[in-house]
Amino acid sequence: MEKTKTTQSRRSFLKSSMLASGGLMISFSGLAKYTLDSEVSELLPAEQWNELTGYIKITPDNLIKILNPNPEFGQNVMTSLPMIAAEELDVDWQKVIVEMAPHDSVKLGPQFTGGSNSVRMYWRPLREAGAAARQMLREAAAQTWGVPVEEVTTKAGMLHHVKSGKSGTYGDFASKAAAIPVPTGVALKDVKSFNVVRTSRKNVEGLKIVTGKPLFSQDYTPDGTLIAMIEHPPAFGKKLKSFDATETLKMPGIKDVFTIKLYPDGFEQAGFDTRTFNDLVVVVGKTTWEVMNARKKLKVVWEQISETKEVIAGFRGKTEVVIPAELETSSTQYQKMAEYASKPSQQLRKDGDPETAFKNAAQILERTYNAPFLAHNCMEPMNFFAHVTDEKALLVGPLQAPGWSEPTLSKLLNLPADKIEIQMTRMGGGFGLRAYGHYMYEAATISKKVKAPIKLVYSREDDMTYGIYRPMYTATYRAALDANKNLIAFHVKGGGIPESPIHANRFPAGAVDNYLAESWAIPSNITIGAFRAPRSNFNAAAEQSFLDELAELMGKDPIDFRLELLKRAKENPVGKNNDYDADRYAGVLKLVKEKSGWNNPENKKYSRGVAAYFCHASYAAHVVDMVNKDGQPYVEQVFSAMDCGVVINPDAAANMVQGAIVDGIGNAFYGALTHKEGTPEQNNFNRYRIIRLREAPKKIEVHFVENDIDPTGLGEPPFPPVFGAVANALYKNTGKRFYNQPFINDLNEKNDRT
Amino acid sequence: MAVINLNVNGKKQAVDVDPATPLLWVLREHLRLVGTKYGCGIGQCGACTIHVNGTAVRSCSLPVSAAQNREITTIEGLSESGEHPVQKAWLEHDVAQCGYCQTGQIMSAAALLRTNSNPTDAQIDTAMSGNICRCGTYLRIRDAIKTAAKQK
């Protein structure tokens, strides 16, 4: 199906929301240059923009606009992705106008934020787009001037022909260039000659953020928009039986109360169509506060579900998932995980003869690690704007993976994809949660039903108790040592509710002759989803704690021990499918060892913990320095070494790593979503503890390995090893190993006893 | 419903709402000042921080009736063009990641600096620990506050 979309409606969205905020249009005189241009650009008619490739637009007045194709959730792609195109286009970055693109995967590629993929995925397409557009401009100038194209040079948005002394702006030739077919295979710059990429550039939306401009869909409520809220079951394992809205409907501002189905009966869900609760009570009214109040008057009867089966059509074909009826309680969940851990399970990988090696071992170290469900808790609670008519649909909201949700939306609304317009707003956090489209479907279904534009708003409580959590995990690690304390076998067996965390081909697979990885899972009605570095965020905690304890048992320095294993994995790897590059892995360990002054006696005052991990396609190592503050262990400083290939925007990249470390410390110490008979025991920040400023380190030093490898992603890799490094520092600080997250529970227990 | 007289960012205006409505929703939905954010609704996250008579207040937990005839400042009133020293420091340190909490952080920081032009680390910790940032930009927030303090 032919599918093209313009950015016209995005501009109208911005225009209307800016006007709604009052007076912005005439009061930007003091703003930075790029912002002035970007505000002006909103007012220009579409035909002024000459499109050179799908990503680049230039006006005759030489305004240069680069579209950011990928959803922005704080990873700073609004800045870093356009920088990549600007580099090859050869323009003055300060003059570039950046605009968020609408969903248009035909023109703009996969448009998916997740898996540390944004830069990795768009690195080549955006370089090629910039280079192609520059070539088109050169050709247009060459034709006009009647000179060979090879003799036309560019510099910062200008075209020159030295011999004839002719020159002009990109804008002068934009119209002509736009008519030239987009060339392919244009030579790209040498990465060593970059002058935009690899230099620190400020967030292009920084000024809008600090002045509170309407950037988020929470801020987007065009006149006539109704507010909708959803009452979902209070517990996993429950569903709607009946409701009485008599009192609700009497409340001021309330328009309607009704039920919707997220998916119709028999609907075949796609891989990211999570179904937590299918039958939902909807309250629609004029304002958020009125709807929030009226909801309290609803009389809803819930009943326990019966066991069901769901067919999910995911990336790996159709799978049938069992949804049990049980109302789960955390203590029972842990017991059940312990039971499953002792049963035979699925073998994922086996090298050598681990059974014999363990049988003949002089010493065996065995440790079990546990972690709870985690809620994403994006600062901007879930919401979506929808205006659905019989002919078309407009959806505006925070979404990480519009391309995965659009086919389902098309089926649910019975509208072809080219009648559906999805605008991705800046997200107030995502962390994986917004890769799932259910809240957009809910909004669309509600709008269709009330025949009006609506904004679906989740309260914080709705958001935290809706599921799609980081799963609950456990893993048991075993190591066998011979009489000389050599590591002869390694065994990991892990599982979770409702998925296993185990990555069988990760380090230290490949470094040990006898290796076994096993996996199991327990079905649940508690829904789960991607959470910053899925599975890795648990594995790194468990495995890196275990390696620390193992190194101690073997009488080795924890960094040297890892480096020895990596040397083995490089020189004489065991097995074939090891998914890490031993050199890059060792590289971050060596760098963090140097930068942290690992062997410097002055650092003995700290309880130091180290951990490293590979996930997605990048490498991270952290050294955490702990002290006691107000009677509690406190991470005072962190040294971090990253290898993510070419770093696009160094200061912003450091910001993201610092944030990942703070996030990791917080979740390691405090993060937990527990259940009692299916009901989440935390539903807001009074019970769900999030790390706060006073608990954040004083210093986080971030160092990047310098190389010219194509970018390998940065959002997730720094996060997982934080948990392990914190656990290892806690051991130094307290003399006790920490096996169960969140660590605050065992810390409090220890404090209670002493 | 009742007519409530408000003084927001130096502008006097009346709104006709339920007097129990939290000021947050009046700002966002009636006055369309959307820089003040909803995060938790129970005064735990600080995303909705504004100034009432110069003091940082969580607008999600303040009934609009209690805000009557008091001097209310929102992020839009701090400086619409980003000229306030705290906003400038935020830009200098490129603090934001997702950005959702930052207007609340800035309002808390501006209130702190209004009464304490040179806060210690401990004072910053205390004043700013009511504002959650899920992206973990706390270190840059501290640095930005120190930069803003120097500029004042």
Summarize pLDDT for A320-337 with one digit per residue, the tens: 889 999 999 999 999 999
Place of tokens 């503890």: A689
Chain A hits for B140, Cβ within 8 Å = 655, 658
Q: Which CATH architecture has domain A537-753?
A: 2-Layer Sandwich (3.30)
Cβ pair B136:A24 closer than 8 A: no
Per-residue pLDDT, B134: 98
Residue A480's nearest CA partner among A575, A344, A345, A354 is A354
On chain B, the residues whose CB falls within 8 A of the CB of A660 are 136
**What's residue A17's pLDDT?**
39
Q: What is the rounded distance in angstroms from the CA atom of residue A526 to the CA atom of residue A528?
A: 7
Tell me the Cα Rg of chain B. 15
Reply yes or no: is the peptide bond before residue A453 cis, omega within 30 of 0: no
CA torsion angle for A363, A474, A685, A715 (degrees, to 10)? 90
* Paired sense of beta strands A50-52 and A56-58, if any: antiparallel
| Domain range annotation of chain B | 2-78, 85-151
Eight-class DSSP state of A708: -
CA distance A383 to A395: 11
pLDDT in tens, A332-387: 999 999 999 999 999 999 999 999 999 999 999 999 999 999 999 999 999 999 99
For residue A519, pLDDT over 90 is answered with yes
For A285, what's the count of Cα atoms within 13 Å in the CB-facing half-sphere? 21
Looking at beta carbons, which residues of chain A come within 8 Å of B135?
74, 379, 429, 659, 663
> Which overall architecture, per CATH, does domain B2-78 show?
Roll (3.10)
DSSP A421: E
Q: Cα distance from B147 to chain A (closest Cα, Å)?
A: 15
Instruction: Using alpha carbons, select from A689, A657, A661 the residue that is nearest to residue A673.
Output: A689
- What value does the mean pLDDT of chain A take? 93
Question: Which residue, among B13, B59, B138, would best test binding to A if mutated, counting the most A CBs under 10 Å from its CB?
Answer: B138
> Is pLDDT of A18 > 60?
no
Q: What is the pLDDT of residue A46?
A: 77
Q: Which residue of B has its CA nearest to A688?
A: B44
Q: Which of A11-25, A701-715, B39-53 comes out lowest in average pLDDT?
A: A11-25
Q: Above 60 in pLDDT, residue A21?
A: no
Query: Burial letters for B82-105: b for 16+ Cβ neighbours within 10 Å, e otherwise?
Result: bebbbbbbbbbbbbbbbbbbbbbb
- 3-state DSSP helix/strand/coil % of chain B, to nearest 5: 40, 20, 40
CB contact under 8 A, B139 and A696: yes
Provide the shortest C-alpha distance from residue B21 to chain A (in Å). Answer: 7
Please say if the pLDDT value at position B48 is more than 60. yes
Beta-carbon separation of B80 and A211 below 8 A: yes
Share of chain A above pLDDT 90, in %: 90
- C-alpha distances in Å from residue A566, one per residue of A552, A573, A581, A584, A722: 18, 9, 9, 10, 20
Q: Give me the CATH topology for the region A8-210.
A: Aldehyde Oxidoreductase; domain 4 (3.30.365)
The CA distance from B148 to the nearest CA of chain A, in Å, is 14
| pLDDT tier at A680, thresholds 50, 70, 90 | very high
Count of residues in chain B: 152
Q: What is the pLDDT of residue A321?
A: 87
Q: What angle do CA A529, A239, A218 make, to 5 degrees?
A: 55
Domains of chain A, residue spans: 8-210, 217-309+382-457, 537-753
Whether domain A217-309+382-457 has CATH 3.40.630.30: no
Angstrom distance (rounded) from CA B26 to CA B18: 10
Name the CATH architecture for the domain at B85-151. Orthogonal Bundle (1.10)
Q: Answer yes or no: is pLDDT of A695 > 60.
A: yes
Place A310 in a pLDDT band, splitting at 50, 70 and 90.
Answer: confident
Cβ of B18 within 8 Å of Cβ of A209? The answer is: no
Structure confidence by residue, pLDDT tens digits, A100-113: 999 998 999 999 99
Cα separation of the two ends of chain B? 43
In 3D space, the residue among A243, A135, A150 whose CA is nearest the CA of residue A189 turns out to be A135
A119 dihedral zone (left: phi>0; alpha: psi -120 to 50; beta): alpha
pLDDT tens, position by position, A476-502: 999 999 999 999 999 999 999 999 999
State yes or no: ipTM above 0.95.
yes
Distance CA B150, CA A626 (A): 30
Residue B91: which of A206, A378, A651 has the nearest Cβ? Answer: A206
pLDDT value at B59 more than 50:
yes
> Mind listing the pLDDT tens digit for each residue in A698-708?
999 999 999 99
Q: How many CB atoms lie within 10 A of CB A418?
A: 14
Distant-in-sequence, close-in-space partners of B144: CB < 8 Å, separation ≥ 6: B86, B89, B90, B92, B93, B95, B109
With CA atoms as reference, report the closest residue to A118 among A82, A89, A92.
A82
Q: Can you read off the two tokens belonging to residue A388?
A: 């659905």
Q: Which two tokens stand for residue B74?
A: 């929102």
- pLDDT, residue A7, reads 37
Length of chain A (residues): 754
- From the list A23, A209, A430, the residue facing B96 with the nearest CB is A209
C-alpha neighbours within 13 Å on the C-beta side of residue A621: 24
**Residue B24, amino acid:** L
Given a contact cutoff of 8 angstroms between Cβ atoms, the answer to whether A368 and A341 are in contact is: yes
For residue range A426-442, list pLDDT tens digits in order.
999 999 999 999 999 99
Nearest to B75 among A211, A460, A684 (CB): A211
Tell me the pTM.
Answer: 0.95
Distance CA A661, CA B9 (A): 37
Taking only residues 426 to 445 of chain A, the set having a beta carbon closer than 8 angstroms to any beta carbon of chain B reads 426-431
Q: Inform me whether the pLDDT recorded for A13 exceeds 80.
A: no
Q: Which of A75, A211, A693 sits opposite B141 (nearest CB)?
A: A693
Spatial distance between the Cα atoms of A690 and A379, rounded to a whole number of angstroms: 11
